[in-house]
Amino acid sequence: MNPRIERLRELLEEPLLVTNPTNIHYLFGFKSSNAALLVDQDRARLFTDFRYSEAARAVEGVEFEETKRALLADLAGRLSGPIGFEADFVSYAGYETLRDGSVEPVPRRGLVERLRAIKDEEELAAIKRACEITDRVFERLVEQRFVGRTERDLAWTIEQLFHDEGAEAVAFETIVASGPNSARPHGRATDRQIGRGETVIVDTGCVVGGYASDYTRTFTTGFVEGPIKEVYALVLAAQQAGFDALRAGVRGLDADAAARRVVDATPFAGTFGHGLGHGLGLEVHEAPRLSTESTDTLAAGNVVTVEPGIYLDGRAGIRIEDNVVVTNGGIQNLTGFRKDLITVG
């Protein structure tokens, strides 16, 4: 018996056609760029074309049916009646394809994602390993030369360090943002040369067992003018306020507000322009959200980032990000790397 499928069945009002590859991977461990999974109260059927048929036949606990490469068109002819589809993933053209066949498509949102948001022990162990590797990479990173190198070159070094430490892959394109570039919350590494007396934001993570880590630290390259130390301490205080607010039953909206109040009570009000954090798992950004727009309520087993930041236009930026597990009584922080303001060479 597949416990994830059983939990999904409790949420169904009609059979659900799962087409998001990450959700299929979560439910049965099967990876394909062209697959669908139909789950009802009695059966689970996996559909894919010839290219993936051998791997699909080896999946336990599911009935396999080979399809044409035009997957939705094939399913529109072989399935019938009311069937839920993943409205946040299927395109309008895909919806039309299903509708024009024998299927009565019913839009459903977030059913599998709701399950994915609460991690089991195996998932938590994978994320913890990813965090342990990320800790080691940051420990080695501070020994590297920053000044005089391009952001892109340093980002490449970080990817090599992850490889050396045993990561399966980097979780996303590593962000290295220096000087005025660090004032852009999610800038990309560029050919800008890192200078002295600047802030450098490094936002990176890795994948272990399919699960991601996502850390951010801000460094300085020598003496920095202006209120950088004050701002750094303020970001740390905002992050701590976020930690203190997090526990099962708290709304993502309220956790965000707890951290945001710390910044908004200072002359730097308005410089923390993004959400406090997001869920982390098979994808780097998943449910639940911690933001001013969040509609989520936290549950024990959620893994979230906590990443307040302050950005001074054209000058500098500071962001600090940890990965934590939500518990009934608070959090477990999986991030071990230090958070004092480190000066690198």
Question: How many other CB atoms are there within 10 angstroms of residue 132's CB atom?
Answer: 18
Q: Which of 116, 136, 161 is the last residue before a domain boundary?
A: 116
Domain check: are 59 and 130 in the same one? Answer: no
The pLDDT, as a whole number, for residue 314 is 87
Q: Which of 330, 298, 344 is nearest to 114 (CA)?
A: 298
Domain containing residue 50: CATH number? 3.40.350.10
Domain check: are 110 and 125 in the same one? Answer: no
Domain check: are 126 and 112 in the same one? Answer: no
Domain check: are 7 and 139 in the same one? Answer: no
Q: In tens digits, what is the pLDDT along the chain, a chain of 345 residues?
A: 799 999 999 999 999 999 999 999 999 999 999 999 999 999 999 999 999 999 999 999 999 999 999 999 999 999 999 999 999 999 999 999 999 999 999 999 999 999 999 999 999 999 999 999 999 999 999 999 999 999 999 999 999 999 999 999 999 999 999 999 999 988 899 999 999 999 999 999 999 999 999 999 999 999 887 899 999 999 999 999 999 999 999 999 999 999 999 999 999 999 999 999 999 999 999 999 999 999 999 999 999 999 999 999 989 999 999 999 999 999 999 999 999 999 999
* Helix boundaries (H) for 21-91: 21-28, 53-57, 71-78
Domain check: are 250 and 154 in the same one? Answer: yes
* Helix boundaries (H) for 52-176: 53-57, 71-78, 92-99, 111-116, 121-141, 151-164
Domain check: are 54 and 133 in the same one? Answer: no
Q: Which two three-digit tokens encode residue 53?
A: 């048929």
Q: Which of 116, 143, 177 is the last residue before a domain boundary?
A: 116
Site of tokens 């993943």: 86
In this predicted model, what pLDDT tens digit does every residue of 109-123 receive, in sequence order? 999 999 999 999 999
Domain check: are 46 and 143 in the same one? Answer: no
For residue 36, what are the domain limits? 3-116
Q: Which of 52, 82, 116 is the last residue before a domain boundary?
A: 116
Taking the C-alpha atoms of residue 131 and residue 76, their distance in angstroms, rounded to an integer, is: 43
Helical (H) or strand (E) element with 333? strand 331-333
Domain check: are 322 and 194 in the same one? Answer: yes
Domain check: are 305 and 222 in the same one? Answer: yes
Domain containing residue 215: CATH number? 3.90.230.10
Q: Which two three-digit tokens encode residue 140?
A: 């080695």
Domain check: are 31 and 175 in the same one? Answer: no
The torsion angle over the Cα atoms of residues 194, 195, 197 and 203, rounded to 10 degrees, is 0
Domain check: are 251 and 332 in the same one? Answer: yes
The pLDDT, as a whole number, for residue 199 is 97
Q: In this structure, which amino acid lies at residue 324?
A: V
In this predicted model, what pLDDT tens digit does every residue of 181-232 receive, in sequence order? 999 988 899 999 999 999 999 999 999 999 999 999 999 999 887 899 999 9
What is the tally of structural domains in the chain?
2
Domain check: are 312 and 193 in the same one? Answer: yes
